[in-house]
Amino acid sequence: MADKPEKRTRMPMPEQDPQVRARNFLEVPTGYTVAMAQEEAARCLQCKKPGCVEGCPVGVDIPGFISLLSKGDLTGAVRNLWSKNALPAVCGRVCPQEIQCEGKCIVGKKGQPVAIGNLERFCADYEREHGTGELPPKQKPTGKKVAVVGSGPSGLTVAGDLIVKGHDVTIFEAFHKAGGVLIYGIPEFRLPKAIVAQEINFLERLGVKIEVNAVVGRTVSLDELFEQGFDAVYVGVGAGLPRFMNIPGENLVGILSANEYLTRANLMKAYQFPKVDTPIPIGKQVVVLGAGNVAMDAARTAMRLGADNVKIVYRRSREEMPARKAEIHHAEEEGIEMFLLTNPTRYLGNDNGRLIGMECLRMELGEPDDSGRRRPVPIKGSEFTIDCDLCIVAVGSGANPLLTSETPDMQLNRWGYVVTEEKTGKTTKKGVWAGGDIVTGAATVILAMGAGRQAADSIHDYLTIGW
Amino acid sequence: MFTIVRREEMAGGTVILNEIEAPQIARKARPGQFVILKANEEGERIPLTMAETDPEKGTITIIYMVVGKSTALFRDLKVGDGYQDVIGPLGKATHLEKVGKVVCVGGGTGVAVLHPITRALKEIGNDVTCIIGARTKDLLILEEQMKNASHDLRICTDDGSYGHHGFVTEVLKEILEQGDVKQVVAIGPVPMMKAVSAITKTYDVPTMVSLNPIMVDGTGMCGGCRVSVGGATKFACVDGPEFDGHQVDYDELMMRLRAYQEDEKKCHESYCTIRDAR
């Protein structure tokens, strides 16, 4: 402790060696030790008006939990986290902290910000592995029943908030396992499924009921939920409709949406085939279309499944890549190549209808478009071919109409997303709230959780005061 | 768990019927809809169209041919055992309408899917002729039920061991020649639906087929089941599984159904080896 706190650099997170981890499904960062966590915690200046809290969409009391951690009260630290965030082990891992809490950390103005995400993760992991399992206090039962449709990050947040406020909460999930994108989308090496299962189990211990295999819109409608005695419904079904490129040859064997590829790998654990029954195509030469976090996840999964080479093909430049910098860095360390300013124009197949390559055009950046990003323009005559036997399409997703098309009295916008009141998440259908990707389109885990928090507050007001 | 309350073997044990307790699904299901089933923790999710539903008993019935690991695993389930997961009802229900003379064509286990649709078409007042086919007499299923569900039942076997010696398409052609057919429904192996659609197209008779592509979630979120219909990509699990037979790209569907052929074979063989060793 010779240095003054503000001069110390951030405690690095130990990680598996890139060469080794590129071929296994174990988590990449291996986590802080107690000593590492406390050394990092000591860098926090305990601001009176903390910017970091403003940067957190669910308003975690960051100086508060860090102070408890510094004092060695790890149980206190995790209970402090839980009071604002039911999923700290998840958020510590997958939040883009650089644009949220850590982006507003004062220590970061002249150096590296406090590693808030790593500390949050440490506290949650420590409690899970060594904790007492003591639950946060619950208010007395209100007798009101709330149905939460979808068990992704926003639905879990709503359930966690309302159960401690004394309401009776049931989550309806279409898949056979709860967790939404945390289970089917984000891979094991970034978010171990055992951790997600334990965070969900924490909610169940608090009293949240979870009904899996329940496809709301098919198995049961929203109106039937009200008939069954629910007083309010929260719709958090995500944006699970995969987009394709709509170019010739798209239905060749060997072209999958990232949703399908990742669902097979993560939810169905196809990387263990034939120990499990779900197969997954093993590509030797793999192309991933798109450059968001989902594209990075798909590319890194393909590498771990034994690809010789994996290419990210993206029509814009590195500047515009929507994935987190850390994810791009991890991908490149693992040997994934970036084919930037490149756009596929058609897929090439053999006589058996299997993918063997794709034709692409080189692009250059033109004038900024509506999104403010410079529009990619094809360079004439720049056609070239990339050989590949597996292509994963990760160019975004849209609103799945399965539930909304069965609910005509809930207003949608022209892209099929649910229209809600901004501050509360109220839909145009009485007693129904919505939040997360089904309102905003594909965004982040923590934004979905923020929407869940707002809706939960509004639902609580409705149940205790009125609409 | 979704408990099996009745189990029957058909077609010499190659086709199995399971009646399963699933009250929520039974309450909502309509003819033409399907469920996704998963036997156990390590199991895969596979789609099967419901052959029967009994809302009062709270059961659904599936009938499947044993063709690979998962269906072999299903076959080994006894009454009192259960499926870990059953999800549904999924897909769009059959569009049922009174149009007059209707011909329903079924092949293999497709007959099981065709049965509730045929019965419903008859109940709303159509004049229903049914043609069902199998390779040989022993493989024919639901003959009695199909007889009751239609006004006129024709049977075909490839080897001539029962009924008409030859394909269902030959009998269909005869009936179409007589005129007046307003609608054809064909459910069975893809080559059969393709052949039926080719014939009915020449007679300009609207034809509905039920497609069976590979599925994972069955709720429209992965696109694994995509098919080309009239040049547009459709997801069979939410846009179908029934489509206009004249618009379907059958060759593409057959190609896509072979995507995991080697993995499927490997998986099935190792399961049979392990089971036989017990």
Least CB–CB distance from B87: residue in A213, A259, A277: A213
Whether B42 and A276 lie within 8 Å, measured CB to CB = yes
Q: Averaged over A402-431, what is the pLDDT? A: 93
Domain A241-397: CATH architecture, name and number where available = 3-Layer(bba) Sandwich (3.50)
Nearest to A257 among B24, B25, B223 (CB): B223
B272 is in an annotated binding site: no
Domain B2-90 matching CATH 2.40.30.10: the answer reads yes
Say if the Cβ atoms of A279 and B264 lie within 8 Å.
yes
B80-116 pLDDT per residue, tens: 999 999 999 999 999 999 999 999 999 989 999 999 9
Residue A440 near residue A238 (C-beta atoms within 8 A)? no
Question: In chain A, where are the structural domains located?
Answer: 18-130, 145-239+401-465, 241-397
What is the arithmetic mean of pLDDT over A218-223?
95
**pLDDT above 70 coverage of chain A, percent:** 98
What's the rounded mean pLDDT across residues B212-228? Answer: 95
Q: Collect all residues of chain B within an 8 Å Cβ-Cβ radius of residue A241.
A: 220-221
Q: State in words which class domain A145-239+401-465 has.
A: alpha beta
Domain A18-130 belongs to what architecture? Orthogonal Bundle (1.10)
- pLDDT tier, A1 (very low <50, low <70, confident <90, very high otherwise): very low
What mean pLDDT comes out for the span A178-194?
95
Structure confidence at residue A369 (pLDDT): 82
CB atoms within 10 A of CB B272: 12
At A458, the pLDDT band (50, 70, 90 cuts) reads very high
Pick the more confident residue, A146 or A408. A146
Tell me how close the Cα of B231 comes to any Cα of chain A, in angstroms.
11
Q: Does B160 touch chain A (CB under 8 A)?
A: no
Confidence of residue A7 (pLDDT cuts 50, 70, 90): low
Quickly list DSSP for A50-68.
Answer: -HHHHHSTT---HHHHHHH
Report the distance separating Cα A75 and Cα B220, nearest Å: 42
Query: Which pLDDT score is estimated for A4?
Result: 53
| Residues in CB range of B12: below 8 A, 6 or more apart | B138, B139
Give, rounded to a whole angstrom, the gap between the first and last alpha carbons of chain B.
Answer: 25
What is the Cα–Cα distance from A187 to A199, expressed in whole angstroms? Answer: 16
Q: Are the beta carbons of A241 and B86 separated by less than 8 Å?
A: no
Residue of A nearest to B255 (CA): A353
| pLDDT at position A356 over 50 | yes
pLDDT in tens, B103-155: 999 998 999 999 999 999 999 999 999 999 999 999 999 999 999 999 999 99
Mean pLDDT across chain A: 93
Is residue A282 within 8 A of residue A258, CB to CB? The reply is no
Residue A6: pLDDT above 60? no
**Does the CB of B189 have a partner CB in chain A at under 8 Å?**
no
Bridge partners, residue B90, by sequence: B34
Same fold, B2-90 and B101-257: no
| d(C-alpha A255, C-alpha A266), whole Å | 18
Question: 3.20.20.140, 3.40.50.2300, 3.40.50.2000, 3.40.50.80: which CATH number matches B101-257?
Answer: 3.40.50.80
Lookup result for tokens 């197949």: A349
pLDDT band at B278, cuts 50/70/90?
A: low
Domain ranges in chain B?
2-90, 101-257
Q: How far apart are CA B218 and CA A176, in angstroms?
A: 12
CA B183 to centroid of chain Cα atoms:
18
Query: Does A145-239+401-465 match A241-397 in CATH topology?
Result: yes
- The pLDDT tens digits for B226-267 are 999 999 999 999 999 999 999 999 999 999 999 998 889 888
